[in-house]
Amino acid sequence: MRPAIFVAIAVGLSSSFVFGQAAKDPAPPKVNTLAEMAAPDAKEHPQVTFFAAPKPLPKGAVTHEWTWFMGPTHDSHSTETKLLKKFPKGGPKKVWELSRGNGYSSPSIRGEYLVYPHRLRNEVVIECLHPQTGKLYWQFKYSTDYSDRLGYSNGPRASPVIDGDRVYTLGAKGELHCLELTTGRVIWERNVNKEFGVRQDFFGTVASPLLHGQNLIINLGAVGGPNVIAINKIDGKLVWASGKRWGPSYASPVPAVVHGKERVFIFAGGESDPPTGGLISLDPKNGKIDFEFPWRSKKYESVNASCPTVIGNSVFISATYKTGSALLNLKPDFTFETAWTMVDREHNTDEDQLGLHWNTPIYKDGYLYAFDGRNEPDASIVCVDAKAGKVVWRETPEWEEEIAFNGETQKITVSTLRGSLLAVDGNYLAICELGHLLWLDLTPKGYKEIDRTWLFGSRETWAPPVLSQGLLYVTQNTRDILTGAGPRLICYDLRGE
């Protein structure tokens, strides 16, 4: 371990902008009054292939909805039970798949409605489908000219937020829409990037909004502020604006109750020269900042992308690009002490090393489990003692797969590389970036693979899996090298007996 590094770099604030609850709204949206309209029936979708209905839910199975990023508790923990732990030959059965466009978003689900945004040509298409059939209720489209500066996908990144009869989506250029869930009609819309002067970052707007009470909290990152804004979910107006120092990063806001008080944590830090960023703790009622903890690589081409993980009255953050990890213990007055820090593996030292690129760790019973490493070759699965700040074990699973290439069958050695974990049904589901799905038993005593299957041979499988009603939704973001199939949203039957 090493002492924490504190870097404070002042950023000028435009004198024309007022922060806090009195913040001036640069462009309050018009709220449309919608006439009563019957919800449309779901119809066959020309881009959906339906395979077979899922099995009935097992008797006594616990299920939930998935209405926002990282699930019901915002931390990739699921309460679903009685899931399929041993895969049949060929993997879990497909229920349906959507042949889709570009993007890295994952879907959100409430009841009989699944909402999923992606890009086709020069339009963002927000689709509302039936979760078990893939049938189409409605589509909402808007034009886009977003172009990723580093050559990655030009589609949306953020996951939708569903609240009652409304759904909220945020596009790669800050296009914020409030739509009626059952019809797709626009209730209000605004472009927060344009209105607040947010310049395009390396990968566009990525962080998903956080619904907290009556507000949508957005990791905005305008130059000179605001860093974070709260938008009223009903009328779309600005409620408060907060922070002046750091850009938006790629980590979504995380809510928590600390010392009995509600707080939201933002891991900020977008493109800037010199590069700056870190953890913001704020009161979601008014945006008042408790503290800002600088934690960011000194490398210009770097990102903060792993969401904060709240552990009781402590919060964990991590980044790569020679940054590392830190655990802060928060006091009742919301000052803090640095419990420990850890370098990442790019430092090439003999110390304990931990740097998470874009996955968020799972905390359970005193330990953190995560995919460590910035690049594919240096990735591994780790268990970390959260109190001591020590790596308990590190595994780099490898195995052989057979693939057909130029008419011949060849064996290749593959690995989990980087991925995302979901804690569920007493174990962990792992989706890996080449399309592998693993059931894992992870404990402080070690790593154990329960079962493994290859869903598709596709790179950039970066969005966390979505689980609702015993069905697993996975986004394939690039062409499948095994079958040639293009990007898809796939629903798998994960219901057990």
Please state, in angstroms and rounded to a whole number, the distance separating the CA atoms of residues 306 and 361: 8
pLDDT at 21: 75
Residues 228 and 218: beta-carbon distance below 8 Å: yes
141-155 pLDDT, tens digit each: 999 999 999 999 999
Torsions phi, psi of 193, nearest 5?
Answer: -65, -45
Residues 116 and 62: beta-carbon distance below 8 Å: no
Is the model's pLDDT at 7 over the cut of 80?
A: no
Please state, in angstroms and rounded to a whole number, the distance separating the CA atoms of residues 183 and 181: 6
Order across the sheet with 254-258: list the strands. Answer: 254-258, 261-268, 278-282, 289-294
31-57 pLDDT, tens digit each: 999 999 999 999 999 999 999 999 999
Which residues touch 450 (CB under 8 Å, ≥6 apart)? 85, 86, 427, 438, 439, 440, 441
pLDDT at 351: 76
Please state, in angstroms and rounded to a whole number, the distance separating the CA atoms of residues 484 and 334: 53
Nearest to 201 by CA among 153, 249, 142: 249
Q: How many angstroms separate the most distant Cα atoms in the chain?
A: 68
Which residues touch 223 (CB under 8 Å, ≥6 apart)? 11, 197, 198, 199, 247
Residue 94: Cβ within 10 Å count = 18
* Residue 435, token pair as written in the block: 């399309």
DSSP 357: S
pTM: 0.95
pLDDT at 38: 96
R_g of the chain computed on alpha carbons? 22
Task: Give the pLDDT mean for 324-330.
Answer: 98
Higher pLDDT, 59 or 407: 59
Is the model's pLDDT at 1 over the cut of 70?
A: no
What are the Cα distances from residue 226, in Å, to 11, 25, 238, 279, 357?
11, 12, 12, 15, 25
Q: Is 350 exposed, middle or buried (0-12, 13-18, 19+ CB in 10 A)?
A: exposed
Residues 348 and 305: beta-carbon distance below 8 Å: no
SS3 sequence, 159-171? CCEEECCEEEEEC
Please state, in angstroms and rounded to a whole number, the distance separating the CA atoms of residues 369 and 360: 9
257-275 pLDDT, tens digit each: 999 999 999 999 988 899 9
Please state, in angstroms and rounded to a whole number, the distance separating the CA atoms of residues 467 and 33: 34
DSSP 482: T
203-254 pLDDT, tens digit each: 999 999 999 999 999 999 998 999 999 999 999 999 999 999 999 999 999 9
Task: Give the pLDDT mean for 316-324.
Answer: 96
pLDDT at 266: 98
Higher pLDDT, 132 or 23: 132
Task: Give the pLDDT mean for 298-303.
Answer: 92
Query: 3-class DSSP state for residue 77?
Result: strand
What is the band of 17 on the pLDDT scale with cuts at 50, 70, 90?
Answer: low
Residues 63 and 470: beta-carbon distance below 8 Å: yes
Angle at 357 between CA 432 and CA 341, to 5 degrees: 130
Please state, in angstroms and rounded to a whole number, the distance separating the CA atoms of residues 113 and 200: 32
Task: Give the pLDDT mean for 461-485.
Answer: 96
Q: Is 143 exposed, middle or buried (0-12, 13-18, 19+ CB in 10 A)?
A: exposed
How many CA atoms within 13 Å lie on the side-chain side of 280? 34
Residues 140 and 131: beta-carbon distance below 8 Å: no
What is the band of 12 on the pLDDT scale with cuts at 50, 70, 90?
Answer: very low
Residues 64 and 468: beta-carbon distance below 8 Å: yes
Percent of the chain with pLDDT over 90: 90
58-87 pLDDT, tens digit each: 999 999 999 999 999 999 999 999 999 999
20-37 pLDDT, tens digit each: 877 899 999 999 999 999
DSSP 431: E
Tracing tokens 């304990």 back to the chain, one arrives at: 352
Task: Give the pLDDT mean for 181-191.
Answer: 98
Q: What amino acid occupies position 312?
A: G
Residues 460 and 477: beta-carbon distance below 8 Å: yes
Residues 399 and 449: beta-carbon distance below 8 Å: no
Across the chain, mean pLDDT equals 94
Query: 3-class DSSP state for residue 345?
Result: helix
CA dihedral sign of residues 275, 280, 285, 288: negative
Strands (E), 362-483: 362-364, 367-372, 380-385, 390-395, 398-405, 408-415, 419-424, 427-432, 436-443, 446-454, 466-468, 471-476
pLDDT at 335: 97
Tracing tokens 């802060």 back to the chain, one arrives at: 328
Residue 380: Cβ within 10 Å count = 21
DSSP 205: S
What is the band of 5 on the pLDDT scale with cuts at 50, 70, 90?
Answer: very low
